[in-house]
Structure 1
């Protein structure tokens, strides 16, 4: 498991790891110091010491000329050291910048290829049909093989199931799979354009020029089709404040990224999905912090009253009527947060989509921190301070497609958990998405001195005293 974090931001990928640039800065500083000492040594070498008494006459006198020559040699060595250190520091920075340029070119290639592939599959229904047929054949062969083995040994069937689960777990935790998913999602709008018989890429580019992201457009179409088919039936929600056993009502203000993760609601049956805390800064002004947790209902049951479900996942990405987003706004009104108030939004997984949607709405004076969230479909104001944290092996952030330049106005922190290897054994189907792993990454962020990580949590600085903590549970109101 790696302790390195990659930090991106400001529209330019210029940093590989913090240690990389720190070393470059040290080399440049060393180069300046060597140059300064070389100047001093050169000034000494030109001084005339021939008439300066260097000691009692009984002591052998130093050769003033030899001293000047030694100082000149020292100055030359220091000058060479300065040039070498400066060149090496500059090369390190140039390497980081070239890395960023190559990465952007590769990303653009993936985006273009994904768009063309999406359009081709939409324009030629036989292509996705052939893919589905191949997948179906593999599944049928596996089922038949499993049934035959089951006639002889139930333990062998268990071994097959365990091996299949392990293989699937390793597949979805592969950075290559994550990149594939990101590219496929980015091509979803081109798939629809091809399906409707429109020219390749033309209308997708036109949508982007008008501020409509392709992924949001595709998600909106998918949500509308699902709702028409009776799969996604919208329902009103009701949020109420709840008291949980052992919860602290007058907490001290959080000060770090790790503390933000620690206070994230975990959800579950009858558990709160939203946490809101209120503090005051040194001037007496209110500072609010709103946490929204991750998906709780992973299926599509029509009888479920859980707003944090897959319908909200799709509709939130589509920027439409997500029940989880409406529930959070209700909770904020119940807590007494007025429009225009200073709010730090903190979200994990689906909660990050909700937090991003509210922050991007402009209703509040917002800052934003997300962990493991697909937030690429949102357009943020450039002055909205935000940090998005994701793991290279986590497929969930990839579900909103390729990263766009507009998101690079904030700061993106990436960390590879397995360094290209396989995840550790366990039952978690998405180990890289685990909240505990994001807490570990948050701890590494807190240990960083990178200045771009500060603006998103600047509201935490200067908070005084204890705060007020409230937790809210929201449910759908079914007919």
Structure 2
């Protein structure tokens, strides 16, 4: 089983598994050799008179030399993995630029075909491109099915990478059709720019989703004593299942002499129904979150935080899975809180750029469709600020226990993400340790209180919300 790989930034599948695992094994060997050297040196002083110590001293010298060489080799492998990650980031930028150029050329051909083929020209060009893409997808699906014995194109890393590049290039295709594409557009991908992914998401929301306007009720459902987690993997353990009666949000409070700290855990999508009734963690919130418009699920998180008493100047760690990851980064972007870090599992958040002082860890699987829906990762220095743990799951994750909601998408299962995070922590990777150290004040095993929150949509006049039935602010 291959272990997780770690990237210095961006949604990059860095093939450093062997290097990271070898570095971990060398570090273990280093500790063992150091222990043997110490015990051997201690034995030298207890030799009976007349027995030569020269051989024992030589053995100690050799053991200590081997210890130093193992340490140097482990450090070298970790450095090589980090540099390889930078190269892979450049490769991804090249793929993104090539996809953008192809989309822009296709759009321009659609526009330029009108004088030659008339009004049917753009349709013919688009149809030809889609037909070629469909043939390639079909061929890849057949190949993958023969290789794995399973028909599961939704978990094929190659198809998912192609989908991410296509999604990130839609704006280039539109600009190409308008003859507005520039070299700068080819090398950068601004989701908030004109015809960017956020604008496309907003258009989809307007076309496909029912009008917003319902008020939200967010109320506590339970409270109990708790100790703060000590490891990153424990954060995944505490994420709520939004379909449970307890609710979609969990907030932990920890007090000490330095003040109050908070950890906010946010559940993923509860339903994909277009008309989901009173459930705010739904498809509408997914699309609005991608479009950077205020969604009901994000507003539910903010209501819970306000009612729980989270102060604007009190450090908050935000943790989310899937849609909850998207809500976490949007709250960090726009919520007005002092965010001490964001940890996300399988979220469509690659293009969301947070301030430099906010440490971000994203855990993603190559076979998971959901991160792909956020497009490719942010390019340049902004993308490199994001620490990414990636892993390709054996068999695409099929065959391992999953929740019913993720049976067809096992790579998106929270349990799988928890295992990947635990393996990354155990690997000894310096970047994971450094991130864990930055979150140290939140992961100290301190006593505190955990409260669960249930959010629902309510009709006007049906009763007060948890924060005084206040109306939501304007959409961004």
Please, what TM-score do these two structures have when normalized by structure 1? 0.71
Matches within 5 A, 1:459-470: 459-462=441-444, 464-470=446-452
User: Residue 6 of structure 1 aligns with which residue?
Assistant: 5
Matches within 5 A, 1:308-457: 308-361=281-334, 363-366=336-339, 367-404=341-378, 405-418=381-394, 423-424=398-399, 428-450=407-429, 451-455=433-437, 457=439
Q: Which has the larger radius of gyration?
A: 1
Root-mean-square deviation (Å): 4.4
- CA shift digits 1:343-384 (9 cap, x unpaired): 110000010011011123372221111011121221212221
1:225 corresponds to which of 190, 203, 224: 203
The answer to whether the 8 A contact 2:289-2:330 is kept is: yes
The answer to whether the 8 A contact 1:171-1:177 is kept is: yes
Matches within 5 A, 1:217-256: 218-229=196-207, 231-243=209-221, 249-256=224-231
User: Residue 106 of structure 1 aligns with which residue?
Assistant: 91
User: Residue 232 of structure 2 aligns with which residue?
Assistant: 257
Alpha carbons of 1:230 and 1:461: their partners in 2 closer, same or farther (altered >3 Å)?
closer
**Are positions 1:129 and 2:127 aligned together?**
yes
- CA shift digits 1:20-54 (9 cap, x unpaired): 44467799999xxxxxxxxxxxxxxxxxxxxxxxx
User: Residue 182 of structure 1 aligns with which residue?
Assistant: 164
The answer to whether the 8 A contact 1:294-1:351 is kept is: yes
- CA shift digits 1:244-265 (9 cap, x unpaired): xxx5522232222232222211
The alignment of Structure 1 onto Structure 2 pairs a total of residues equal to: 411
Of stretches 312-321 and 333-342 in structure 1, the one that deviates more from structure 2 is: 312-321
The answer to whether the 8 A contact 1:369-1:388 is kept is: yes
The answer to whether the 8 A contact 1:190-1:200 is kept is: no
Q: Secondary structure at the match of 2:422?
A: helix
The CA distance in 2 between the partners of 1:474 and 1:234, in whole Å, is: 14
The answer to whether the 8 A contact 2:155-2:369 is kept is: yes
Alpha carbons of 1:217 and 1:444: their partners in 2 closer, same or farther (altered >3 Å)?
farther
1:289 corresponds to which of 260, 263, 268: 263
The answer to whether the 8 A contact 2:348-2:374 is kept is: yes
The answer to whether the 8 A contact 1:8-1:412 is kept is: yes
Please, what TM-score do these two structures have when normalized by structure 2? 0.71
Alpha carbons of 1:424 and 1:227: their partners in 2 closer, same or farther (altered >3 Å)?
closer
User: Residue 267 of structure 1 aligns with which residue?
Assistant: 242
Q: Secondary structure at the match of 1:452?
A: helix
